[in-house]
Amino acid sequence: MLEELRQTCRALLADGKADVVIGYAQDDPAMPAYPVFVTRPEDADRLVWNEMCLPNLVAYLTRPEIKALGKPAVVVKGCDERALVVLAREGQVDRGEMVAIGVACDGVGKPREAKCSICDVHQPRYADVVMGQAKNEPVDAAARYAEVEEFLKKTPVERMAFWREELSRCVKCYACRQVCPLCYCTRCIADKNQPQCIDTSATLKGNFAWHLTRAFHLAGRCAGCDECTRACPVGINLRLLNLTLARSAEAQFGYRSGMDPEAKPVVGSYSLQDKEEFIR
């Protein structure tokens, strides 16, 4: 599969079908693979594919420095591809002006990432070309949100105590925002200071405000790639926060982001039948 991947990328670059291939390279098999931007066909040999290929390369498609390199071809795992579907739906990438190279994936990370045990997109579904074969077994919602269900067994007081402890470690490095493929706003609300909607200070007030905002701005959009959780230098369980809203979107609207390119996004559309039992 690796040789097929390299050959595909070599050909894309040689034929001018892509100006840059965004893929993975690796210096040491024991170390995580890292993103690489290959512009010459002969450099396609730098590309690797293995279970240490963690970063979500779709995040680069909205960065100006990368867009300046020209028409991109990007290597995507199933989870990464979900983010690509959302980006296309939101008009941030033109699917016709890029090539998505899907790679069948059995799970990444050593130890294996938590997201992999509930994955139902091992085989990318919307890429332009797919390397390898994997099976997409459906995962039922109870398994998908087991972590959230478990968490919700805590009382509200316990929940707040949990988040107070988790968010007290936040240093406001914004790694979560920067690695997220869907945090592409050129001017984030957290960077606005007239008025200051979200305190930049790493106080509980500022940290709660930031994480509530980021989680909600991803409501119904988060693709579940968990890069934010991996990138957090202090180990905050952002996955739990994102899963909470994903569960809400699926339970209330039957919606999972990035699964169907034609589906209407949850926030930004509405239905006359939306339930309002909580509204007097």
Partner 1 sequence: MSESNGFEPRIVAYVCNWCTYLGADLAGTNRLEYPPNIRIIRLPCTGRIDFNLIVKAFEMGADSVLVSGCHPGDCHYTAGNYHARRRWMLFRDLLDAMGIDLRRIHFTWISAAEGKKFQRVVTEITEQTRALGPYEDYRKVVEGGAC
Partner 2 sequence: MSEIISQEKLRRLVGEWISAGKRVYGPRRPKPGPVLYAWLKAADELLLDGYVRPANSIKEVVFPRHEVLYSYRLEGKKISMGEPEPLSAERIVVGARPCDAASLTILDHVFNWDYKDSFYNRRRELTTVITVACSRHDAHCFCTSVGLAPDAERGSDVLLIDLGDGSYEARCVTEKGRKLLAGLTEQSSKTGRVPPGPEPKFDPSEIRSILEGNFDSPLWQELTLRCMGCGACSYSCPTCHCFDIADEGNARAGARARNWDSCQFGLFTLHASGHNPRTRQGQRQRQRLLHKFSIYPAKFGEVLCTGCGNCTRNCPVSLGVQTVLQQAVKRVPVTNGSETAAKSA
Helix (H/G/I), strand (E/B), else coil: 188: coil
Count the residues of the shown chain that bind partner 1, applying the rule CB under 8 A. 53
Among 7, 117, 196, 269, binds partner 2 (CB under 8 A): 196
Residue 156 binds to partner 1 (criterion: CB under 8 A): yes
Among 110, 169, 192, 264, binds partner 1 (CB under 8 A): 169
Distance CA 23, CA 31 (A): 16
User: How many other C-beta atoms can be found within 10 angstroms of the C-beta atom of residue 162?
Assistant: 14
Two structure tokens written together for 1: 């599969």
What sign results for the dihedral spanned by CA atoms 229, 255, 60, 46? positive
Q: Identify which range of 21-29, 64-72, 146-154, 179-187 contacts partner 1 by CB under 8 A.
A: 146-154
SS3 assignment for 136-181: CCCCCHHHHCHHHHHHCCCCHHHHHHHHHHHHHCCCCCCHHHHHCC
Distance CA 257, CA 214 (A): 16
Distance CA 199, CA 54 (A): 31
Among 98, 219, 259, 263, binds partner 1 (CB under 8 A): 219
Q: Which residues contact 265 (CB under 8 A, 6 or more apart)?
A: 86, 89, 90, 220, 221, 257
Distance CA 95, CA 139 (A): 28
Q: Identify which range of 34-42, 86-94, 109-117, 208-216 contacts partner 1 by CB under 8 A.
A: 208-216
DSSP state of 70: -
Among 41, 244, 259, 263, binds partner 1 (CB under 8 A): 244
Among 62, 84, 249, 258, binds partner 1 (CB under 8 A): 249
Question: CB of residue 87 vs partner 1: minimum separation in angstroms?
Answer: 20
Two structure tokens written together for 124: 């990318």
Q: By C-beta, is 193 or 252 nearer to partner 1?
A: 252
Question: CB of residue 167 vs partner 2: minimum separation in angstroms?
Answer: 12
Q: By C-beta, is 225 or 266 nearer to partner 2?
A: 225
Per CB under 8 A, residues contacting partner 2 are 28, 31-37, 55, 59-60, 64-66, 165, 169, 171-175, 177-179, 191, 196, 199-203, 206, 227, 230-231, 233-235
What are the residues binding partner 1 (CB under 8 A)? 148, 151-152, 156-164, 167-170, 197-198, 201-205, 207-209, 212-213, 215-216, 219-220, 240-241, 244-245, 247-249, 252, 266-272, 274-276, 278-280
